[in-house]
Structure 1
Amino acid sequence: MSPNDAQSTLDDIRRLQDRTRDELVGHNFSLPYALLMALGLFIGFASTDLPRPWNDVACLLGFGLYVGVTILQQVRQCRSSVRPRSLWVPTRLELVFYVGWAVSILLVFAAARTATWALDLPAQGTVAAAVVALAFVAATPLARRIVKAIMRQDSGRY
């Protein structure tokens, strides 16, 4: 094998790895999943406006939908033609990103809830939940780019 053939083969491998990463991230952050997860967040956070027995039910339903969609994403990814080499175990940087993503959702809800309280709006939890759902959908493309960058840094796994 000549050096040019070896270089060409390595370039093909890198190109295919980039394509695999793009498809993995595109699957995890696709619009239908993002919309369902945003709906789950909306229901879960809006449940704070409901009376006592119903808020627990709505909270479990909403956050259950969010977690269920996340699990469905991973199951469908394992069955797709493009998948990681091994079972998905997040790297340290991926874990930091996903924890930060979750904390930012809570911070957006707290800030929106505080703003609705300061403006003395009715149904403060529902308004704040709508803000969270919209922010979640709007931030999904940014999250997609961040995860792609993280995956490129850890190029041996994908």
Structure 2
Amino acid sequence: MNPVDAQNALADIRRRGEQSRDAYLRFGHSRTAVLLLTLSVFLAFASFDLPNPWGGAMILPEAVLLAVMLVAYLHRSPVRRSITTREAALGAAVGTALVAVFKGLAAAVRAGGVPAPHTAAAALLCAAGAVCLTLAGRRGRP
């Protein structure tokens, strides 16, 4: 193999990697994926307002929703790729920030006198998150 062939092969590998990342992001930012993710976050956060036996019972619909998301990913995703350490760390940081924002927002809404502060805070947070994910998905498209 001469150097030109090696450079062409590396360029092809890079191009295929970019294509797979683009397809992965398109699937992750699809309307269905964003809707299911938003619903999952809303159910988890809004369940804090439910009385004791019902708050714990929200685990069942949440588990069903997560299973639906997994099946959709396994059957409909055009590419499957492993998560990198950097992506996992970023996801953990974003999740921690999401919980912190939710707690602050719930405290502010509770101070405002809303009867179901966690549900209101979850709705605001999920609406903002869905808008951000939708805008991020459109920004990456030509």
Which interval holds the TM-score relative to the shorter structure? 0.7 to 0.9
Following TM superposition, the consecutive aligned residue runs of length 4 or more in structure 1 with deviations greater than 4 angstroms are: 1-6, 141-144
Residue 19 of structure 1 and its aligned partner are, at CA, apart by: 0.7
Where structure 2 has 5 or more consecutive residues not aligned to the other structure, the ranges are none
1:76-155 matches, within 5 Å, as: 76=75, 80-84=77-81, 88=82, 90-140=83-133
Aligned-pair identity in percent equals 33
Give distance in 1, aligned partners of 2:135 and 2:60.
27
TM-score w.r.t. the length of structure 2 is 0.76
Q: Secondary structure at the match of 1:83?
A: coil
TM-score w.r.t. the length of structure 1 is 0.70
- Contact kept? 1:43, 1:63, Cα under 8 Å: yes
Partner of 1:152: none
Residue 62 of structure 1 and its aligned partner are, at CA, apart by: 5.2
The Cα offsets for residues 71-95 of structure 1, whole Å up to 9 and x where unpaired, read as 3354236xx55333xxx2x332122
Partner of 2:43: 43
Partner of 1:21: 21
Give distance in 2, aligned partners of 1:139 and 1:66.
22
Residue 43 of structure 1 and its aligned partner are, at CA, apart by: 1.9
Partner of 1:154: none
Where structure 1 has 5 or more consecutive residues not aligned to the other structure, the ranges are 149-158
Q: Secondary structure at the match of 2:113?
A: coil
Give distance in 2, aligned partners of 1:11 and 1:109.
44
Q: Secondary structure at the match of 2:115?
A: coil
